[in-house]
A and B are shown apart, each in its own frame.
Chain A
Amino acid sequence: DAKTTQPTSMDCAEGRAANLPCNHSTISGNEYVYWYRQIHSQGPQYIIHGLKNNETNEMASLIITEDRKSSTLILPHAMLRDTAVYYCIAVSSGTYKYIFGTGTRLKVLA
């Protein structure tokens, strides 16, 4: 399973876009990029995932570079309730074993 690298923490002003980067330079062709977030004292919550193409849903957008070595999760209009730890995970489509790192602690500021 490919390792991912994320910044430890980030701040974002309320209402602005939050761009959370993730490096996964050793990702293999059958590994998806998944994003989860964990709000204090709750279980992680699925946000979005992708393989090669950019993806968008009601929560966020996922931009994956052409070489697939990095990706960015975009929260278009960050709200205070988006304050959480965000995890980027490379997941093999063969095993679907999810290995969480330490994630990025995003703080949305009023």
Chain B
Amino acid sequence: DTGVSQNPRHKITKRGQNVTFRCDPISEHNRLYWYRQTLGQGPEFLTYFQNEAQLEKSRLLSDRFSAERPKGSFSTLEIQRTEQGDSAMYLCASSLKTGTPNTGELFFGEGSRLTVL
């Protein structure tokens, strides 16, 4: 068990550029979550998947954000036409949904920090 892996750990980009983050969940975890966190705030829910199906995307999330999990394993989060307000830590988490009772414990990666200049 190597834990949840996120890449890149740091990304600096210019406003207007596209960026993509990758998350490799713990093997066999069928749920995968994306969060965004800014300084002093708790993680903000963005979206989550069960296997390859995207269950929900935050209504507050701009259409510039898109996430995929094509084969139910790794996931990518793409931000198009980045803005300075997108600067944040992007966190990925995974869990194993095993039915009832389900611990539902989330395992988080170390995050990908985005700075938009």
B42 touches A98 (CB 8 A): no
**A residues in contact with B110, CB < 8 Å:** 42-43
**B residues in contact with A36, CB < 8 Å:** 106
B109 touches A97 (CB 8 A): no
B105 touches A98 (CB 8 A): no
- Beyond A43-B91, A85-B42, whether A98 also contacts B106 by CB under 8 A is yes
A21 in contact (CB, < 8 A): no
Minimum CB–CB distance from A16 to chain B (whole Å) comes to 26
- Beyond A85-B42, A87-B42, A91-B104, whether A43 also contacts B48 by CB under 8 A is no
Number of interface residues of A (CB under 8 A): 23
- Beyond A98-B45, A99-B45, whether A93 also contacts B100 by CB under 8 A is yes
Taking residues whose C-beta sits less than 8 angstroms from the other chain, chain B's interface range is 20 to 34
A97 touches B45 (CB 8 A): yes
State the majority secondary structure of interface residues on A.
Answer: loop
- Beyond A96-B102, A97-B56, whether A43 also contacts B42 by CB under 8 A is no
**A residues in contact with B28, CB < 8 Å:** none
Minimum CB–CB distance from B8 to chain A (whole Å) comes to 16
- Chain A 21-37 per-residue mask, 1 if CB under 8 angstroms from chain B, else 0: 00000000000101010
**B residues in contact with A15, CB < 8 Å:** none
Q: Chain B: which residue is nearest A36 at the CB level?
A: B106
- Beyond A43-B110, A45-B108, whether A97 also contacts B102 by CB under 8 A is no
Contact of A100 among B31, B44, B104 (CB under 8 A): B44
B16 in contact (CB, < 8 A): no
Residues of A within 8 A of B (CB): 32, 34, 36, 38, 42-46, 49, 85, 87, 91, 93, 95-103
**Can you sample 21 A-B contacts with CB below 8 Å?**
A32-B104, A42-B108, A43-B4, A43-B110, A44-B108, A46-B106, A49-B104, A87-B42, A91-B104, A93-B100, A93-B102, A96-B95, A96-B97, A96-B104, A97-B55, A97-B56, A98-B106, A99-B45, A100-B35, A100-B44, A102-B42
